[in-house]
A and B are shown apart, each in its own frame.
Chain A
C-alpha cells in the first residue's frame, strides 16, 4: 500500500511570508495528490489537488508542485494571512491508484502576526 510522509509537523511563519510543506509517497502508480486544510474542530476541506500529467498547479495564493521522478509534492502558500492558520494534510491514493486516500500526518501551520 501507499506510504505518505509529510514534513514539517509544525511550521511557524510571519504574516505575509511564504510557507512550504513537503510530502513524499512510495507507490509509483499514484497519480492524484490532494491537499486538505483542517481548522480546529472542523472537517477537512480540499484546497487544491494535482494530477500526474502536470508538474504545477496554482490557485491564487496557493500552489502545488509535483516531481514524479522523485515521488514528492509540495504545497506553497504565499502572502500568508491569519486565516491560513490550520492543519494541512497531503494525501495520495491508497492502493494501486484506487481512490481511497492515504493521508500524511499533517502540518500545523501557525501564522505569527
Chain B
C-alpha cells in the first residue's frame, strides 16, 4: 500500500513569490490534514478536511494561505505571497475518518520550503 505522497520534496523561492504544495493521501482515507513543522518543534495543525469539506481551518493564516481538496482526494496548499517566516516543513497526513474516532494519522515525507 502506498503511503501519503507529497511534492515537491524541496522548494526554494524568493520572498513575495507564490508557492504550492501537493498531497495525495492514502487511498480510501477520508480525512486529510496539513501541518507546519518549524525546526526543532512539533507539527502544528493548519487545516483538516473531511472529504472535500474544510472542517477546521482556524489555524490557517487566511490572508496568505489557501487550501483546496476539490474532489475529496488530493489536496493543494498555497502561499501567496511567501514571507521569510514561512520557511518550514509542510507535512500532509491522512486518516481513515475523522471526528472522535481517533484513527492513526499517517504522515507524508513533507515539503521543505526555504524562502530567501
Contact = CB atoms under 8 A, between A and B. Distances in A.
A91 interface: yes
A91 B95 CA distance: 15
Interface residues on B, range: 20 to 34
A57 to B, nearest CB: 13
Interface string A73-113: 00000000000000001010111011111111110000000
Given A98-B98, A100-B56, A43 B45 contact: no
Interface string B84-114: 0000000100010011111111111110000
B43 interface: yes
B56 A51 contact: no
A42 interface: yes
Contact of A44 (B91, B95, B100, B101): B91
23 contacts: A31-B102, A34-B104, A34-B105, A42-B109, A43-B107, A43-B108, A43-B110, A44-B43, A46-B104, A46-B106, A51-B102, A89-B42, A89-B43, A93-B102, A94-B45, A98-B56, A99-B31, A99-B48, A99-B102, A100-B45, A100-B48, A101-B45, A106-B41
By Cβ-Cβ distance, the 4 closest A-B pairs, closest first, are A103-B42, A32-B102, A43-B107, A100-B45
